[in-house]
Each structure stands twice: as C-alpha cells, then as structure tokens.
C-alpha cells in the first residue's frame, strides 16, 4: 500500500528573505521615497564569490572556473572579516546597527533604518543601493532563488533552453491543465520542433533521433484540447484503486475519473519540476508574490494519474495509490519515452530494495530514465526512510529562506515566524489571549488550546490576537476557529520543534517554532499587546537550509544498510506552486511542504542536465547532483554533516552541470549488487555477484564493518585533470585510500581506487560518518561515507528443512574477546487467523504476549498474484486502547512483523485487505513466540564458547532433532562478545511444503 508523500505540517523553520528587486534609493534632498523600516544596503566592493584580489594583504577568494566557493579557506575568512568591519563602519556612520552581514554572494548588510538614515546612506560613496524590504517584489519563488536557477539557466542559454528536448513524467494525482504553469499552444499536425498530433498520438521529436509519443486520455473535466505543446501526455490508472472508491466532482476539491487533478498534489509537483517561467502568483494569502517558475521551464510534461482521493473530503485515510496502477504507469511512462520520472509517493520505511515499484524503476533506469523519489515524511526518527534502491535518487527536504513576519512584544523583544497573511504593507496590533484560557462552555482547556472547532468562547477573543497550539486539527482551521469568534490575528505555536509553514489563514497569522512558545504564552496569559508586522525584523536570521523535521532519515534498514540514503536534499518546506482547479475555475496556487515538494526540484534539475547532456545516463545525472552538493545547516546554524539526514547535501544547481568526474553504474552493477544481497536472479540478468558496499555509487556505506574492509570505486572523466584525495571525519575508523592521486588524460577514461576501513577506537553499533573528496583547481567531487563497526556480524536469518537437521552458521568478529553462543526455541508457528475477504475488509485477531518472550513473529500469507494485504500489530493498554503499532504494509500479499523483546500484554493483529483484485481473497495469519527456556526439537549450537580476534571468521554448527511432521518452527541463536550481543533467527520446516514469508528471506 502506498500513500502520497506530502507533509502537512512538520519540519524546521525557514529563513529570512533577503532578496529585494526594487532600487529604493531616494533623490538627493528628498526623503519621500524612504520610510522607516528594514533595508538591504549593498556596498560596491566585491563579495567573496567575485573578489579576485587587489587589496593588500587579502588574497583572492573567487573560485576558479568550474570550481566552488570555499568560504572556509583562510583567504575567505580574512576577506569576510574585512567586509564585516566595513559594514559596521558604514552603519555606524548614520547611527545604525547591522542586523545581518552579507558577504558571500553579495557584499552588504541588513539593518533597520529611519527614512533619514536610509537617505544618508544612499548618498554615501561606496554604497551601491539601499533597498527597502517593504516593497519586496520577487521574480521567482524563494526556492528558485535559493537554487540560483537564474545562474543555472544562463549556463544552458537562458530559461528558454532549460529542459529543452526533455519530457518529465509525473506520477501523481493528475494535472490542472488551465493553470498558467502549464499553458501551451494548441497541438498542430505538422512535424517539427514542437509536439504535434499524428491521429490521436502526440509526437515530440526531442532531438538526436529520440521521440516521445503520448496520448491524451479524456474523461470528466478533461478533454483532448487540454493537452498542448506543454502537456504532451495525460493518462490515468484507476483499475487497481477502483473507480467505486473515488470521490465525485460534486465534492470539493473533488475527484475526476480522468487525468484532471482533484487534489492539487500532482499539479504542485509537476509545476515545480517543469512549470512555465514567469507565472504571476496572486491572491495567495491576500498577497501578490510576483512571478514564479518551474525548475526546467522548457521541459514538457507527461502526467500519469495514479493517486486518488476517496469519497470523504475530511480525511486522507481513504486516499491512496494502488501498486498495480503504479507499476503500469511506470511501464507506460518508459514506453512513451519520458526522460525523467518524478515519484512523490511512498509507503513507509523501506524494508526491501526489490518491491515491484523498485524493480519497475530498475527497468526504467536501465532504459535511461532518471527517477527522483521522495524520501518520505516520517522523520526525524532514524531508519524511517522510503525508497532504498540505488538505481534511483532519493530526496530529502530542506527549508529555504522564505516569507516571514515578526511578533513584537510589549517589552520590545521580537520573534520571527512564517507568514504570508500578515499584510505586506501594514501591521496588526492587539491584546493577546491564550486559547486554552478561553474555552467555550462545556469544553476543556486542552481542546481549546488547540483551537478546535467550537472550543473557544464566543466573546473572549473579540478584537484580540489568539495564541493557538499546533496539533490535532489542520493549521488553517485554527485561524478559522479564531476568526469565527472575532479574533483579529493568530500566533500559531509549535509545542515541540517542527516546521514553520506558510498557509492561507483566515486572519493574519504568524507560525512560530517551539523555542518561542514560552515567551508567547507568557505574553498571552498576561494579556500583553503585541504587534504583527511583515518581514523578519527580529535581528536574528533564521538558519537555512535545515533538513526538515518531517524528512525521513536513514540508515535504510533494507538489505544490510550498505547503500546510504537519502541521496541528496532539495527545498521542500513552504513551496509555492500550482494547485487543483475545476474546469473553467480561477487559477489556484498553494504552499505545500514535504519530501514530495523536494523530489520535483531534483526532477527538474535532472531535466536541465539532460537538455545540456542528452546522452547522460541516470547514474551520471545522480552522480553530478550528489558529488557537487553542499552541506546543510542545523537549526542552531552549525554545519550539518549527517548523510542519513541530508544525503550528500543540498544540491548546488549552478555547479552540478559540470561535475568533472562521475560514478557510472548500470544494470550489470545493479544485478551484481542484488546477487551480493543473496537474491536469486535469472541467468539472463547478467552481472557478477559483488559485495553491496562495492556498488559503484557516489556514496560509500558499510552496514556491518567487522574489523577491516576494503571497498572499490571507479571514476569516469567528463574532462581531463589530476585529482587528489582527502578524507574528512569517520571518527574512530582508520581510513586508507589508494592511490592518492588520479590523473585523467582523456575524456571517458576510467580509473579505480580502493578505500580500506579498519576499526580503531569507534564504538560498536555506532555509525562513523564523513566525506571523501577528489579535487583539483576546478572541481571537488565529494562522496558521503557511513560505516558501522560491529562486534559480531552474523546472518539475520538461517533456514533448514527436516525433523532432524544440521546447518552451518558463519560470521565475523568485529572485536577481540570471548564469543559465546546459545539457543532458544524452537516454537511452532500456529494459526492465528485464516479467512478470506474482499477489498477493504478488515479482520482482527487478539493475542497475548507473555512475560520474557525473546521474539514474537507474525507472518501473513496471501495470493500475491491478485491481492495486496496489510498487517497491523497493536499493543493495547488496560482500557483496550491501542498505544503502540507495528506495520507490515508493502505492496504485497505476504507481510511479516517481528517483535524483538516485546512488552508483555494484550495485543491485536489486524489484517486489512487493501486490494483483492476484484474478488474475495484467502489468507493465512500465523505466529510463533520464543521464550528463553523450553521449546521443541532440542536446538543446540556448538561450540558454545571460543576466542576470537578482530576480523576473524567464525563458524558454528546448529542442529536439531525431534520436530513434528509437516510443521514450521522459529528458533533463536544468541551471541555475546564481551557484552556486545547479536541474534540469528532460525526458520525450520520439518517437511518440504509451502513456505511462509519468513522462509523466503535470503
């Protein structure tokens, strides 16, 4: 089962806007063009990025052609200090104070100025411009600005060439064709540079003999005329989800059994990736936001509607995307000839790299299609990430400098938060009140604090600014509830750290993060008068880019954690783009947050890369994006280096077009990787078995480092040059690289290197992280590293057959000491439930978990050919309420949930028939519980104790006898190496027969 990957309200805060476009310098002798407020003062001297020397004692800082700005170099630090001193002198000359220094891309500062100060500065020698924040007119979205798309487009000949000859396939909720992001010319019938019709087929001759052929499927709200030279294909896939399960046009926003978008998610992702340039955005939160552009505005869009809204608009529980529809759409997109696929869809933490969609994308990549997939919105916990396969690019979400407003408290202190509803040309002042202090009759303070519908007193908020806590209901509903009782504004506070979101609120609203809630709460309880003003005048710049709290993290637990995920990060918080709209309705736009919003930024960048390098492989594009990426920052402004949060870092769009060197990989590599994981593949899938850590991808991961391991990588030259290697971080691990220098004398040359990792002082089970970089004067090709030293490396599962049997277990010691081994079990798998049901049916089975159980395993078997079943395990409290949940929810009929050392108590197992292929489907739910003592089959292991040294291989003999006939059993081997423990689970069948899901594990 899958779900659309949009986070409604999560993550970290955005940063201050710092991009005014109007020159606010006044004429001499006049202050009419200046007002008191916040300004950007731009000085004439070069910034770090453009300074090429000339000042005695200050070395050049401008990067060499094709290189990156090194803001950490000694020269950069010295020149930045010089600029900061200059800022202080200029500000002090008019009695002002610097609020924020600007040194890297532009030389200047931000300051709060009176009209007189602004005028005086505008006349000073060496001051280039004085620009007022109040008259901000953006020319692109904040995310566009942050990705420096203007510079990127200039490299490819302008925005009119960005994405030319490329088709982006968007698998999502459809498309709103009238939205100006998708405006195109009517399709003609004459072959040429523009897409044209041949009968009912849309043909687009992309160049170099490559052709896209699409179809414009019709249905409610969508006609053949809705396709154009921009939308070159529109299809929908509904059979798997079921037409009977969707909403209707009469609902708002509604649903359409056609390619039309009734949700908005698909239009948002499509317009972000490849929407037209310079689209005017008006009336979002009552503000004119200027013009916005897709990342690859010249690329064409093919929409594949695969996700649907259910009939209840008040919940998303009945929404979804059927796996059968998804794989059909992927296949069709490849067949049609798309160059890029955006896949902002997810199904929870990845447990495998070979789901049906994973393998579909392997085929797509083999066909030359670049795939961008969202990482998921289940962060910030570890191992929550979706999409773990190495042949596509998994994208994390970050904040960007975005729209803000400021709360000024009675004592003059200021706090900034996210807002698009505080008037850009005014302010809101009023007495504050805490929603929890004004509950309506019969309502609790706790419910009122959340501003739930009907919870606020009808008179207590009139003319006031209400403080509402975040949680439970939609953010925009909170301001609606406050407005309904007469509030003139809202302060929306995170109770725990989270995202700062931009919503179209009913009254002026400022969204603040948790660290400011106490101050706001104290003011509200005291009835202080506060003022909400546009822009960030707090004097504190909001750090960005920060990996959003909702963005799912690695390490991916799927198949050994040898592939670092996510791969890269991109803007995904507060992104403005197209929304749903009804036929003939007004143009609509909306802010959304989620890794769903990050993935299309990468899809669009891939389209730009492919328009410039049309023969590039998906691996080359991915490598270029990753190896040129830069570190994000943490919420406190410090450098973020965790690859399980940011991947390789946030993409550097101006730099990635010329990466210098790339890590190539293809089908033989991917098949060898799968064989190395233990998967049996057809002989026709050519590829020699390789250790998964040796897959030639831009990151280097070892999920189980036992003493020492050497990995190999190969680089391919896109230009000649000599590169030297450097390694940063990887604390407690000795890292050796050979050779230290790679000299590429011709384009296309391949050179290999080896990296040896040896455990030194690193703690077992703790990931050691860092970077490996090959660099010269022009390029820095950086790879993230994550290795996890283990005290014991042993198989997670072994299996055997027979009432009496003996099997070998082989492992590796990651440290020296005494290794002991013992067993528990066997426990027989017993039937918990056996039934059959149609799509949507649910079956609940109670189960009791006893004190001291080492493991309790639940295994669900169904008919894979027709069904998709989901398994949920719930722990209940004394009142029978679910307090903890585990899910087996892949796009499969076979599911398994294994609970290690479970808390004793009452549980229930729920089987949900997500899809039954139009008929009732049978299933069998079995379970087994292993306790430390007792069991069947006389399970033994030898030797029970042995001395091992770091890196030693060890072997154990596991044997049993006396199992019952034609039964399945679960056992455990327990290891201890000087306090470090590990387990191997044993699945035994006493006679050949149909296997459970556990028996199919490698």
Q: Which residues are marked as active site?
A: 172, 265, 596
In DSSP terms, 981 is beta-bridged to 976
Q: By CB neighbour count within 10 A (0-12 exposed, 13-18 middle, 19+ buried), where does 244 fall? A: exposed
Phi, psi of 377 (to 5 degrees): -120, 45
Strands 797-801 and 780-789: unpaired
CA angle 431, 432, 436 (to 5 degrees): 145
From 534, 545, 538, select the one nearest 403 (Cα to Cα).
Answer: 534
The Cα–Cα gap between 516 and 535 comes to 17
Taking each helix axis from N to C terminus, what angle separates 595-612 and 265-274, rounded to the nearest 10 degrees? Answer: 30
The Cα–Cα gap between 488 and 460 comes to 12
DSSP per-residue string spanning 869-907: EEEEEEEE-TTS-EEEEEEE-SSSS-EEEEEESPPPEEE
The Cα–Cα gap between 55 and 69 comes to 19
- CA distances, 555 to each of 5, 351, 826 (Å): 19, 11, 32
The Cα–Cα gap between 360 and 387 comes to 12
Structure tokens at 372: 């961008």
- Say if residue 438 is preceded by a cis peptide, omega within 30 of 0: no
Structure tokens at 155: 């490299």
Listed in sequence order, the residues at least 6 apart from 440 whose beta carbon sits closer than 8 Å to its beta carbon are 448, 454, 455, 456, 457, 458
- CA distances, 125 to each of 103, 107, 119, 300, 343 (Å): 19, 15, 13, 48, 53
CB 214 within 8 A of CB 201: yes
From 18, 8, 9, select the one nearest 402 (Cα to Cα).
Answer: 18
Listed in sequence order, the residues at least 6 apart from 400 whose beta carbon sits closer than 8 Å to its beta carbon are 14, 15, 142, 143, 145, 146, 544, 545, 571, 573, 574
The Cα–Cα gap between 45 and 85 comes to 13
- Say if residue 943 is preceded by a cis peptide, omega within 30 of 0: yes
Q: Which stretches of 399-471 are assigned E, i.e. beta strand?
A: 404-408, 414-418, 428-434, 465-469
Structure tokens at 329: 């759409």
């Amino acid at each position: 089962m899958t779900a659309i990957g949009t986070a409604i309200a999560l993550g970290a805060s955005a940063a201050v806007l710092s991009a005014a476009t109007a020159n606010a310098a006044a004429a001499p002798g006049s202050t009419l063009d200046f007002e008191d407020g916040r300004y950007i003062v731009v000085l004439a001297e070069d910034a770090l990025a453009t300074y090429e020397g000339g000042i005695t004692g200050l070395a050049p800082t401008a990067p060499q052609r094709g290189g990156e700005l090194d803001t950490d170099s000694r020269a950069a630090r010295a020149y930045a200090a010089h600029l900061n001193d200059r800022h202080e002198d200029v500000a002090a000359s008019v009695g002002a104070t610097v609020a924020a220094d600007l040194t890297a891309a532009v030389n200047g500062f931000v300051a709060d100025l009176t009209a007189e100060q602004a005028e005086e500065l505008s006349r000073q020698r060496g001051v280039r411009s004085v620009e007022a924040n109040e008259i901000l007119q953006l020319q692109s979205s904040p995310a566009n600005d942050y990705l420096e798309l203007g510079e990127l487009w200039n490299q490819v000949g302008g925005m009119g060439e960005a994405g030319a000859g490329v088709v982006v396939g968007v698998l999502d909720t459809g498309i709103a064709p009238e939205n100006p992001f998708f405006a195109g010319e009517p399709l003609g019938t004459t072959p040429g540079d523009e897409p044209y019709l041949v009968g009912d087929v849309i043909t687009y001759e992309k160049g170099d003999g490559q052709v896209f052929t699409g179809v414009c499927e019709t249905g409610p709200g969508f006609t053949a005329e809705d396709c154009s030279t921009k939308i070159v294909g529109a299809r929908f896939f509904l059979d798997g989800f079921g037409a009977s399960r969707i909403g209707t046009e009469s609902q708002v926003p509604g649903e359409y059994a056609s390619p039309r978008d009734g949700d908005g998610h698909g239009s948002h992702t499509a317009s972000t990736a490849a929407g037209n340039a310079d689209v005017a955005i008006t009336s979002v939160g009552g503000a004119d936001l200027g013009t916005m552009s897709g990342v690859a505005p010249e690329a064409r869009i093919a929409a594949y509607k695969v996700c649907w809204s259910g009939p209840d608009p008040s919940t998303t529980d009945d929404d979804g995307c059927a796996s059968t529809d998804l794989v059909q759409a992927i296949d069709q997109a490849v067949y049609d000839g798309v160059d890029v696929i955006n896949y902002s869809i997810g199904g929870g933490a990845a447990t495998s790299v070979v789901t049906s969609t994973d393998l579909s994308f392997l085929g797509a990549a083999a066909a030359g299609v670049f795939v961008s997939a969202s990482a998921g919105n289940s962060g910030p916990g570890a191992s929550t990430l979706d999409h773990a396969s190495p042949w596509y690019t998994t994208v994390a979400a970050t904040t960007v400098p975005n729209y803000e407003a400021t709360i000024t408290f009675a004592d003059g202190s200021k706090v900034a938060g996210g807002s698009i509803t505080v008037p850009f040309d005014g302010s809101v002042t009023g007495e504050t009140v805490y929603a929890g202090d004004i509950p309506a009759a019969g309502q609790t303070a706790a419910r009122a604090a959340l501003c739930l519908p009907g919870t606020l007193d009808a008179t207590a908020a009139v003319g006031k600014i209400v403080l509402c806590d975040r949680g439970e209901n939609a953010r925009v509903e909170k301001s609606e509830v406050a407005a309904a009782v007469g509030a003139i504004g809202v302060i929306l506070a995170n109770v725990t750290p989270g995202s700062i979101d931009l919503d179209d609120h009913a009254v002026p609203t400022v969204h603040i993060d948790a660290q400011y809630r106490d101050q706001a709460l104290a003011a509200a309880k005291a009835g202080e008068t506060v003022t909400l003003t546009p822009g960030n005048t707090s004097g504190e710049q909001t750090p960005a880019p920060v990996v959003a709290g909702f963005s799912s993290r690695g390490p991916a637990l799927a198949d050994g954690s040898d592939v670092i995920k996510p791969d890269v990060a991109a803007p995904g918080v507060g992104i403005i783009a197209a929304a749903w709209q009804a036929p003939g309705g007004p143009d609509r736009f909306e802010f959304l947050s989620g890794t769903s919003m990050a993935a299309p930024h990468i899809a669009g960048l891939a389209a730009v890369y492919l328009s410039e390098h049309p023969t590039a492989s998906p691996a080359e594009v991915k490598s270029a994006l990753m190896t040129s990426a830069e570190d994000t920052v943490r919420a406190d402004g410090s450098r973020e280096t965790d690859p399980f949060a940011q991947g390789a870092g946030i993409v550097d769009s101006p730099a990635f077009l010329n990466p210098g060197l790339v890590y190539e990989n293809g089908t033989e590599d991917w098949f060898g990787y799968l064989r190395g994981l233990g998967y049996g593949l057809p002989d026709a899938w050519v590829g020699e078995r390789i250790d998964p850590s040796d897959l030639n991808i831009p990151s280097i991961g070892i999920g189980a480092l036992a003493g020492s391991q050497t990995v190999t990588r190969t680089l391919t030259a896109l230009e000649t040059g000599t590169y030297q290697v450097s390694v940063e971080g990887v604390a407690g691990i000795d890292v050796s690289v050979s050779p230290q220098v790679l000299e590429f004398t011709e384009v296309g040359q391949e050179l290999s290197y080896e990296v040896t990792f040896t455990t030194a002082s690193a703690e077992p089970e703790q990931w050691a992280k860092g970077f490996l970089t090959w660099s010269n004067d022009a390029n820095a090709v950086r790879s993230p590293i994550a290795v996890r030293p283990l005290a014991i490396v042993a198989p997670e599962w072994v299996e055997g057959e027979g009432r009496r049997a003996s099997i070998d277990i082989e492992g590796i010691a990651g440290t020296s000491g005494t290794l002991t081994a013992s067993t528990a079990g066997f426990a027989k798998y017993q039937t918990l439930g056996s039934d059959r049901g149609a799509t949507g049916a649910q079956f609940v089975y109670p189960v009791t978990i006893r004190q001291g159980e080492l493991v309790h395993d639940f295994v669900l078997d169904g008919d894979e050919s027709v069904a998709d079943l989901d398994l949920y395990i719930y722990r209940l409290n004394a009142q029978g309420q679910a307090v903890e949940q585990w899910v087996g929810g892949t796009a499969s009929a076979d599911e398994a949930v294994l609970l290690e050392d479970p808390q004793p108590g009452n549980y229930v197992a729920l089987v949900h028939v997500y899809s039954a292929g139009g008929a009732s489907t049978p299933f069998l739910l079995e379970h087994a519980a292993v306790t430390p003592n007792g069991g069947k089959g006389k399970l033994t292991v030898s030797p029970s104790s042995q001395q091992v040294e770091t890196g030693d291989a060890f072997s154990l003999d596991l044997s049993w006898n006396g199992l019952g006939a034609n039964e399945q059993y679960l056992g455990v081997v327990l290891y201890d190496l000087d306090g470090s423990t590990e387990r191997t689970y044993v699945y035994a069948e006493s006679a050949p027969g149909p296997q459970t899901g556990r028996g199919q594990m490698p």
